[in-house]
């Protein structure tokens, strides 16, 4: 989740929660999530206030930095590289957020993005059952869907091979997981269940 997707209003503290690499599967963390960073809206907090709050509440506060968007003071607790990039979530952990139009608009855009994605996946699945080659072309033309599919295939292969590599070696010594048709069908089924 990018910082730009969250609007911080009022005297609130937000935490960026994340799951360590290798522990995030099928959209769920297989262990307790950790706080990667604290976020303090610059419209409500000074750099010194943010640092003081973090220390008073038992967090590390050696370095306060401005977020990429410039809207927050960020205090990192851990290096983001230790976490799965898909696992980041931002939640309010102290204070209350003000409700204002900007936040409502942000939510509407988020819902719109989700429904566009679902709509595309539904069309892709319909095309898959009617004309497999058309579905492959649709996937090739949609960069985000292509990336999501590639990522899923990588995770699927990793999971399958972790169960035993002998089952996937053909007569020539090559690893065979499945053809693209079978993998696409499994991915679409997985996306539908999400």
User: pLDDT tens across 158-188, in order?
Assistant: 776 666 655 556 666 666 666 676 777 777 8
Is there a contact between 183 and 150 (Cβ–Cβ < 8 Å)? no
Q: What six digits make up the tokens of 138?
A: 């649709």
Tokens of 150: 């590639």
* 77-122 confidence digits (pLDDT tens): 999 899 998 888 888 888 755 444 344 444 445 545 556 777 877 8
Query: CA angle, 183 as apex, 26 and 1 as ends, to 5°?
Result: 35
19 has a pLDDT exceeding 80: yes
At a CB cut-off of 8 Å and minimum separation 6, what does 23 contact? Answer: 29, 30, 31, 84
- Give the pLDDT of residue 43: 87
Residues 6 or more apart from 157 whose CB is under 8 A from it? Answer: 177
pLDDT digits (tens, 9 = 90+) for 43-79: 889 999 999 999 998 888 889 998 888 889 999 999 9
Cβ proximity of 40 and 69 under 8 Å: no
In this prediction, residue 124 carries a pLDDT of 78
d(CA 194, CA 31): 19
Alpha carbon distance 46, 30 (integer Å): 36
Supply the pTM of this predicted model. Answer: 0.47
């Amino acid at each position: 989740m990018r910082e730009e997707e969250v609007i911080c209003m009022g005297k609130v503290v937000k935490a960026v929660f994340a799951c360590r690499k290798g522990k995030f599967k099928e959209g769920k963390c297989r262990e307790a999530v950790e706080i990667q960073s604290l976020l303090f809206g610059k419209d409500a907090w000074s750099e010194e206030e943010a640092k003081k709050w973090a220390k008073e509440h038992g967090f590390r506060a050696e370095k306060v930095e401005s977020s990429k968007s410039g809207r927050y003071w960020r205090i990192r607790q851990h290096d983001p590289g230790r976490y799965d990039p898909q696992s980041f979530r931002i939640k309010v952990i102290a204070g209350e957020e003000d409700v204002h139009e900007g936040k409502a608009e942000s939510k509407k855009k988020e819902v719109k993005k989700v429904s566009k994605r679902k709509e595309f996946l539904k069309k892709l699945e319909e095309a898959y059952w009617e004309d497999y080659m058309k579905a492959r072309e649709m996937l090739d033309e949609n960069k985000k869907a292509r990336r999501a599919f590639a990522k899923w295939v990588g995770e699927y292969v990793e999971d399958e091979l972790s169960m035993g590599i002998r089952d996937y070696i053909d007569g020539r010594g090559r690893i065979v997981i499945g053809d693209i048709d079978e993998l696409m069908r499994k991915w679409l089924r997985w996306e539908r269940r999400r």
